[in-house]
Amino acid sequence: MKLSIRSVVFAAALLLPASVMAQGSERDAVNRVMQKMMRAFEAGDANLVFEVLRKDGVVVGYSTSKGSVVTQTAEEWAKGFPGKPADDEAQRKRSYEIVDVSENAAVVKVMLDYPGWKGLDYLALSKIDGNWMIVSKSWSGQRKP
């Protein structure tokens, strides 16, 4: 019996680094997607956005001005990208935290601190045909005085 328990422990020890490396590899891939998304925000470039965001994705958030939840397709949302950096781009701060990565799904928290807006987004990513893509964006935030 001791031999079989040792065998199981030994096998688990051999497999653990492989699973950790695989998870690290997926995390690195999600990080590359997020770096591209941050560059798209900085450049105001919808074409760059669509390299990592599915056009049929969903963007949802609560609008205080409308008093309701607003839902858009990612394609509709990306129309707000002007094709050039925002005039106040130098004052805008963005950061992100990869919250969780599994085999085919990931969640990323994005913090936005702009001169007139402080927001928080949660992005859901799915691994589709071997590529990580953002499939939904849930936003919240408030205008700064």
Banded pLDDT at 21 (limits 50, 70, 90): very low
DSSP code, position 140: E
Chain Cα centroid distance, residue 66: 26
Q: What would the pLDDT profile of 79-95 be if each residue is shown by its tens digit?
A: 999 999 999 999 999 99
Banded pLDDT at 144 (limits 50, 70, 90): very high
Give, in words, the CATH class of 2-143. Answer: alpha beta
For residues 118-139, give the mean pLDDT: 98
For residues 117-134, give the mean pLDDT: 98
* pLDDT for residue 142 is more than 80: yes
* pLDDT for residue 128 is more than 70: yes
pLDDT of residue 24: 73
Higher pLDDT, 55 or 11: 55
Q: Where are the beta strands (DSSP E) in 4-130?
A: 53-63, 68-73, 93-101, 105-114, 117-128
What residue spans define the domains of the chain?
A: 2-143
* pLDDT for residue 12 is more than 90: no
Task: Please name which of 59, 61, 37, 58 lies closest in space to residue 49, comparing C-alpha atoms.
Answer: 37
Banded pLDDT at 39 (limits 50, 70, 90): very high
